[in-house]
Amino acid sequence: MSAPTSAPRSANGQKAAMDRMYRLTRHVYDVTRKPYLLGRDRMIEALDVPPDGSVLEMGCGTGRNLIAVGRRHPRARLYGFDISVEMLKTARRNVERSGLDIRLAEGDACLFDPEAAFGVAHFDRVYFSYTLSMIPDWTTALAHGLALVNDGGSLSVIDFGFCEGLGAPARALLHGWLSWFHVAPRAGLETEMARLAKASGRTLRFERPARGYAQFGIIS
């Protein structure tokens, strides 16, 4: 049986799809995803949040990453949003248990208005962690994320890559499996980040860790 193909979805369709996917799996998401969402902690370490700096996660999922940022940077002001209300249930529970001050909201990464949700228009650090590969209009989401960055701030992305150093069989196995979950690694990620960096007068650092399993870029 072949894997289902991912057709473009509207924002409402994407929201419904994410809620269906995570209604049950949100309870075991962090445990089951840890082995293959490589590079998340490395990205968090590289954020280098300034004292009392603000951080926004685009698609915060269970809140796992924001909690890790908060523990590493206790003075940071932390914010996150997700399109899935199901994931936000878990995120809010996890944040409450952590004891950290993290503000969460529901929203679409392509048009989220943080000023309306949080009273904050721009952030020192904005990041996507394994989310662009699930957002149908990922280029719009990426551009919107960069637009939310303060002058002197940075936008970071970690996501699935194309296994250049692992070979075609590994790539076919990984990408075939991911397609069942409407996850599509973005072949044009480096090109699009480079275009946005140039257009905004910023610079891009980009690499493919774990022999190309992941893609990791920072616009600053």
2 domain residue, yes or no: no
In CATH, what number is assigned to the domain containing residue 21? Answer: 3.40.50.150
**Which pLDDT does position 15 carry in this prediction?**
54
**Which pLDDT does position 104 carry in this prediction?**
98
Cα gap 171→163, rounded to integer Å = 6
> What single-letter DSSP state applies at residue 9?
-
3 domain residue, yes or no: no
Cα gap 60→30, rounded to integer Å = 12
**Which pLDDT does position 118 carry in this prediction?**
98
SS3 of residue 210 by DSSP: helix
7 domain residue, yes or no: no
Cα gap 156→220, rounded to integer Å = 9
Sequential pLDDT tens for the chain (220 residues): 223 333 344 556 655 555 555 454 444 444 444 445 789 999 999 999 999 999 999 999 999 999 999 999 999 999 999 999 998 999 999 999 999 999 999 999 999 999 999 999 999 999 999 999 999 999 999 999 999 999 999 999 999 999 999 889 988 888 888 888 789 999 999 999 999 999 999 999 999 999 999 999 999 9
85 domain residue, yes or no: yes
Closest of 22, 9, 20 to residue 91, by C-alpha: 22
Cα gap 148→72, rounded to integer Å = 22
**Which pLDDT does position 181 carry in this prediction?**
78
If one counts the domains in the chain, the total is 1
173 domain residue, yes or no: yes
Closest of 135, 31, 22, 30 to residue 88, by C-alpha: 22
**Which pLDDT does position 177 carry in this prediction?**
81
Q: What distance lies between CA 4 and its chain's CA centroid? A: 23
1 domain residue, yes or no: no
118 domain residue, yes or no: yes
50: containing domain: 12-219
**Which pLDDT does position 35 carry in this prediction?**
47
5 domain residue, yes or no: no
